[in-house]
């Protein structure tokens, strides 16, 4: 009987000549631990709530920095994390814009981690920087704009959009956004030292064009000499966090053009509809924006992070130019070495573009569009089930793949309690949203493998945990 090989040294490198051989047995360990952790969890969420989960994790981890290392740490910690995870691949985990990543994207992400390029200078990422330029430009063209930057997600993209607006408008800008806008927009205005945003009513969950017209008219003020008007940037939303609603983009674009306002569209949620022939028309007007936020770790099925900011005018990006001699010396730039510092506010940046590029190339537009169509269809099916259920109330038909509902006649306290009970029992993960001054349960369907029977199970769990 042959003697098994010794376990791999934990100090071996993931890249280089021996990298693949060092990684191969560790991948088996990770995959086994993911499987055993999933089995131990048993459902979409660990049972017991925060205190129970924390205590179990602490027991598994033990001494975080022991005097001597533990060769089984990889298996132990991956198992513990999987056992204590909220699993977006479970069809009953449907609370947030938290997608189950595609296997091909996760595999590409492993390659990015092993190679470890850093996109702050060309000599750290020769091929990765070229790949990023190719893919971001293509995605920008898909939106109707010219170029795009890679970001960590919607929050960074929205902040960058306001920064570019501020830097390209002498005297600064003032944000005008709907009451339905993502919280990162007013927060970005605060971080950038902009005036208090003007918040326009969104009585039906979307920005009201009449109210926007009035706000832009009022902000113009008197047109006499000596009354300079602060440049305005209007932020519209294509896919709200609460209900997945899309603002009337063509009307908003027309108002911005008429009033000379810059237009930013936060399409972090809805941008993935561009891949679908069936749903792309919902984003008509997107191409009129000066900047667009996209998140492919939502309707793009990428591991976090996978955000982008598309821009209409590449010249706007000159505001991000920064000089650090060890990264982009003038003579290197003049010699033809690309300057990457102006592509982000971050310095060290991992090549998140690789997983995106692999996904686009592997599935193509039609493959991604089919996934979009599937989750949107499942959302409509769930809405039909709720509408037909005498014990449940539907908020509205879904625009994308978010469905809001609540037990008929329940109080807000009851709705909140039902959600927390399901979380604590580890049975289902539903979100919450407040619209029309009432609290709703939120199901965000981003798993294309969800089956009709999973939808029925979800509703039975809500029904069975609602007090009579």
> What is the separation of C-alpha 152 from the centre of its chain, rounded to a whole number of angstroms?
8
In the numeric block, the tokens 């493959």 are attached to 367
Structure tokens at 289: 């924006």
* The two three-digit tokens of residue 332, written as one number: 């290197």
Distance spanning both ends of the chain, measured CA to CA: 65
pLDDT in tens, the chain (468 residues): 555 555 557 789 999 999 999 999 999 999 999 999 999 999 999 999 999 999 999 999 999 999 999 999 999 999 999 999 999 999 999 999 999 999 999 999 999 999 999 999 999 999 999 999 999 999 999 999 999 999 999 999 999 999 999 999 878 899 999 999 999 999 999 999 999 999 999 999 999 999 999 999 999 865 534 444 789 999 999 999 999 999 999 999 999 999 999 999 999 999 999 999 999 999 999 999 999 999 999 999 999 999 999 999 999 999 999 999 999 999 999 999 999 999 999 999 999 999 999 999 999 999 999 999 999 999 999 999 999 999 999 999 999 999 999 999 999 999 999 999 999 999 999 999 999 999 999 999 999 999 999 999 999 999 999 998
DSSP for residue 164: H
Integer Rg of the chain from CA: 24
- Ordered DSSP codes for 288-334: G-SEEEEETTTTT-PPSP-EEEEES-GGGGGGG----HHHH-HHHHH
Tell me the pLDDT tens digit for each residue of 5-60.
Answer: 555 577 899 999 999 999 999 999 999 999 999 999 999 999 999 999 999 999 99
Task: Show the tokens assigned to 263.
Answer: 């237009």
Largest Cα separation within the chain, whole Å, is: 95
Task: Give the pLDDT score at 262.
Answer: 97
Q: At 416, list the tokens.
A: 């909140």
Alpha-carbon distance of 462 to 166, in angstroms, equals: 47
* Integer Cα distance of 75 and 365 in angstroms: 37
Q: Is the dihedral of CA 170, 251, 96, 349 positive or negative?
A: negative
pLDDT tens digits, one per residue of 111-146:
999 999 999 999 999 999 999 999 999 999 999 999
- The pLDDT score that the predictor gives to residue 226 is 40
> Rounded to an integer, what distance in angstroms lies between the CA atom of residue 133 and that of residue 115?
19
Choose among 383, 246, 362: nearest CA to 300: 362
Measured between alpha carbons, how far is 300 from 322 in angstroms, rounded to an integer?
Answer: 31
Helix (H) or strand (E) holding 350: none
Q: CA dihedral defined by 352, 355, 357, 361, rounded to 10 degrees?
A: 180
- Residues 6 or more apart whose CB falls under 8 angstroms from that of 381 comprise 452, 455
The alpha carbon of 12 is separated from its chain's Cα centroid by a whole number of angstroms, namely: 34
Sign of CA dihedral 374, 375, 376, 380: positive
Contact 77, 443 (CB under 8 A): no
Q: Are strands 402-407 and 198-200 parallel, antiparallel or unpaired?
A: unpaired
- Crossing angle (nearest 10°) for helices 452-464 and 353-388: 60
């Amino acid at each position: 009987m042959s003697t098994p090989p010794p376990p791999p040294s934990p100090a071996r490198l993931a890249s280089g000549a021996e990298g693949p051989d060092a990684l191969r047995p560790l991948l088996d360990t990770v995959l086994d631990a993911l499987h055993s952790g999933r089995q131990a969890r048993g459902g979409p969420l660990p049972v017991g709530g925060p205190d129970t989960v924390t205590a179990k994790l602490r027991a598994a981890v033990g001494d975080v920095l022991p005097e001597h290392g533990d060769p089984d740490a990889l298996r132990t910690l991956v198992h513990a994390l999987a056992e204590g995870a909220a699993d977006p691949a479970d069809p009953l985990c449907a609370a947030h814009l938290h997608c189950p990543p595609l296997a091909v994207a996760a595999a590409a992400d492993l390659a990015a981690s092993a190679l470890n390029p850093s996109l702050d200078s060309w000599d750290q990422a020769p091929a990765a920087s070229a790949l990023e330029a190719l893919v971001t430009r293509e995605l920008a063209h898909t939106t109707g704009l010219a170029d795009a930057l890679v970001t960590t997600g919607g929050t960074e993209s929205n902040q960058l959009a306001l920064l570019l607006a501020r830097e390209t408008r002498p005297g600064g800008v003032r944000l005008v956004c709907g009451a339905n806008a993502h919280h990162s927009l007013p927060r970005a205005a605060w971080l950038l030292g902009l005036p208090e945003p003007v918040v326009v009513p969104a009585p039906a969950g979307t920005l009201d064009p009449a109210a926007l017209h009035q706000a832009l008219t009022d902000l113009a003020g008197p047109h006499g000499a000596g009354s300079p008007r602060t440049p305005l940037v209007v932020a519209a939303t294509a896919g709200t966090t609460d209900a997945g609603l899309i603002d009337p983009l063509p009307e908003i674009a027309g108002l911005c053009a008429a009033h000379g306002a810059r237009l930013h569209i936060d399409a972090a949620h809805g941008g993935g509809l561009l891949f679908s022939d069936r749903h792309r028309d919902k984003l008509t007007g997107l191409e009129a924006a000066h900047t667009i936020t996209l998140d492919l770790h939502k309707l793009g099925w990428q591991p976090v992070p996978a955000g982008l900011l598309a821009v209409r005018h590449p010249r706007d990006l000159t505001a991000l130019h920064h000089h650090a001699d060890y990264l982009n010396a003038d003579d290197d730039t003049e010699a033809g070495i690309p300057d990457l510092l102006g592509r982000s506010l971050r310095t060290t940046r991992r090549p998140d573009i690789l997983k995106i590029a692999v996904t686009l190339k592997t599935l193509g537009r039609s493959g991604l569009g089919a996934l979009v169509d599937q989750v949107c269809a499942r959302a409509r099916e769930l809405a039909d089930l709720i509408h037909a259920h005498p014990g449940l109330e539907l908020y509205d038909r879904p625009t994308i793949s978010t469905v809001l509902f609540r037990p008929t006649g329940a109080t807000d306290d009851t709705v909140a309690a039902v959600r927390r009970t399901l979380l604590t029992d580890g049975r289902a993960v539903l979100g919450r949203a407040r619209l029309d001054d009432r609290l709703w349960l939120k199901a965000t369907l981003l798993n294309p493998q969800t089956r009709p029977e999973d939808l029925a199970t979800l509703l039975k769990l809500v029904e069975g945990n609602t007090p009579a």
